Amino acid sequence: MNCFCLTVAGEEMFNSLSLLQCETLCLRRYLKTSHKLYSATYDPNEKTFEKLLIANRGEIACRVIKTCKKMGIKTVAIHSDVDANAVHVKMADEAVCVGPAPTSKSYLNMDAIMEVIKETRAQAVHPGYGFLSENKEFARRLAAEGVTFIGPDTHAIQAMGDKIESKLLAKNAKVNTIPGFDGVVKDADEAVRIAREIGYPVMIKASAGGGGKGMRIAWDDEETREGFRFSSQEAASSFGDDRLLIEKFIDNPRHIEIQVLADKHGNALWLNERECSIQRRNQKVVEEAPSTFLDPETRRAMGEQAVALAKAVKYSSAGTVEFLVDSSKNFYFLEMNTRLQVEHPVTECITGLDLVQEMIRVAKGYPLRHKQADIPINGWAVECRVYAEDPYKSFGLPSIGKLSQYQEPLHVPSVRVDSGIQQGSDISIYYDPMISKLITYGSNRAEALKRMEEALDNYVIRGVTHNISLLREVIIHPRFVRGDISTKFLPEVYPDGFKGHKLTDLERRELLATAASLYVAEQLRSQRFLGTPRIPIAKSKRSSWELSVHLGDGIYPVAVSKDGSSFSVEVDGMKLNVTSEWNLASPLLSVTIDGTQRTIQRLSRNASGSTSIQFLGTVYKLQILTKVAAELSKYMPEKAAEDTSSILRSPMPGAVVAVSVKPGDMVLEAAWFVAT
């Protein structure tokens, strides 16, 4: 086990700790090291609420609890039965189970949550994002019980949470809007008719939705019918509301949003923009603030329209107005999210504000403490959403499992990690597979991106497949670095799907040299006797090794010679000097190759010489053999590939909701089925 307790206590003391003591130490460290990079002040004399319930789970519940602790507010966590040992449950002052794993029976179970509020006498509720955060009925029920909802009132939730009504209000507030049908689509036939009138392509999306859920792009009648069916199903499942709307799909836009903050006294601010164009399946993957694309005039125009919309509905809380921006910097209202956004940390980094604190203050009735002229853009912040997903499948299909080893890169300067998991946590099929939000800050964009690259290399996640390889490739891609991005970035850059990092010749030699040095270092360690007076019969004076390294489709002869703590490695007729402390017990290994520092992770190895190494974000499989073993291996029979001709295997975990065939039907090779 690799955890904070082992680091601070030592192995002997660690072995004497109970599981509860270990978890307590880890939790204290989590609270101290996470959630940094903003400079908000907390006035202990400013009274708000004595007790607040968080109607959410995971990282956002933890995020709210941290601010509440700083404000002196006691917290109540709710959880499903499978979340009984979740981090947010341990962090809160009180925790109550509200039902079984399915969200409809737990985190969306208003009756159960209302009962917990009464039992715990919570004075206020913060809904986080998702779940009930934009549910007007939940806000209404809270108001009826005299409980404060940390968010806007029911009128604003109704007006802005409904995509149809919000679009009409935006038009009346003179906010630029996308052409489309201003009403509810009744059925698939009407959807086709409307789509034809608007002109393909069109966007079908949930009226009550957000976060990319219930959204489909249709390019023809058939896709419109399919999109209507799937979007309505997903909308009903995610939001309890299957109403859909259709609007013109703006091809190749940027997705840029404005953070707004308003109080109950008529004051409203725009807190600059967030660039959210890197997406897959209409869900954001990488965000940054500010945007490389906006000039001061466009930023001001977008901010003023966002504030005008907020004032039009008497909005009071933190909210986000999302826009699509074309190549000519024309911008169009997309939707308003009446809640805290997932990507809010980048705004906190460049403004110094704690948005959760501001939401709580506004809900209590305090006026805003700042004027528009006070809102700065200090530096640059980048956020990567780290998911338990396989990026090699449609840029990310969910992965499940237990985090057998987990270490956040908090030792890297100016890094913030918002997470709701720890080593031993389960990533299940029931909830979003997000592991964390990884945020880096710099005085400029180049500095923030360089720190993100370092943070991703130093992030240890074992037990589940994750998307770090994709995130790292995105932030170092020349197009991204120069700010040439749109919502089509991923399919344009990777038209055949993501394949991982493509090694240059130099990088290939660095990987081969590192792997060979690691192999030799391990061989030398295995010859040492520690903690015993036993003396070897004969000292090994071996100082050179001839190896054969199999990487991809190539087999490479590699010669290694030892020189003190360094290795001189010859690959492709070129010599490389490889230096490291060779701490083989550490999940992270810092290696210097001809003066270039790399952080690698060895994920696995076995007796046959096979090893997996995470290098430049991507995991590479190698086999390292001695020259003799390599020559003999050609006589070994190859393992037969698995026969999958009679197997229908789902590419991701989930429940089969529809099978479009019945016994006796003819199934062609190109046929497909849907599992969600």
Nearest alpha-carbon partner for 284 in 205, 210, 381, 212 = 212
Report pLDDT for 24. 44
pLDDT score for 670: 58
Mark whether 383 is an active-site residue: no
**Percentage of the chain with pLDDT > 70?**
91
642-656 mean pLDDT: 81
What phi-psi label fits residue 161: left (phi over 0), alpha (psi between -120 and 50 degrees) or beta? alpha
What percentage of residues in the chain have a pLDDT greater than 90?
73
- Mean pLDDT for 291-314 is 97
- Contact by Cβ (8 Å): 513, 611: no
* Topology agreement, domain 179-248 and domain 505-526+542-634: no
In the CATH scheme, what architecture does the domain 51-150 have? 3-Layer(aba) Sandwich (3.40)
What is the rounded average pLDDT for all residues in the chain? Answer: 90
From 247, 287, 335, 358, active-site residue: 335
DSSP string covering 228-244, please?
Answer: HHHHHHHHHHHHS---E
* Lowest mean per-residue pLDDT among 37-46, 152-161, 296-305, 601-610: 37-46
pLDDT-based confidence at 610, cuts 50/70/90? Answer: very high
Q: What is the pLDDT of residue 581?
A: 93
As a whole number, mean pLDDT of residues 136-153 equals 97
What does the pLDDT look like over 66-121, one tens digit per residue?
999 999 999 999 999 999 999 999 999 999 999 999 999 999 999 999 999 999 99
Give φ, ψ of 47 to 5 degrees: -80, 135
Ramachandran bin of 351, using left for φ above 0, alpha for ψ from -120 to 50, beta for the remaining angles: alpha
What fold is seen in the domain 179-248? Answer: Dna Ligase; domain 1 (3.30.1490)
Preceding peptide of 296 cis, ω within 30°: no
**CA–CA separation, 452 and 385 (whole Å):** 12
How far apart, in whole angstroms, are the C-alpha atoms of residue 89 and residue 107?
14
Ranges 39-43, 409-413, 480-484, 622-626: which has the least confidence = 39-43
pLDDT reported for residue 426: 94
pLDDT digits (tens, 9 = 90+) for 490-542: 999 999 999 999 999 999 999 999 999 999 999 988 877 666 655 555 555 67
Q: What is the pLDDT of residues 427-449, one digit of tens each?
A: 999 999 999 999 999 999 999 99
Query: Would you list the domain boundaries of the chain?
Result: 51-150, 179-248, 505-526+542-634
pLDDT tens figures, 191-221:
999 999 988 989 998 877 666 677 899 999 9
SS3 content of the chain, % helix, strand, coil (to 5): 30, 25, 40
Rounded average pLDDT over 30-38: 46
Which pTM does this prediction carry? 0.84
Secondary structure, 3-state, 280-309: ECCEEEEEEECCCCCCHHHHHHHHHHHHHH
505-526+542-634 maps to CATH 3.40.140.10: no
| Residues 260 and 223: beta-carbon distance below 8 Å | no
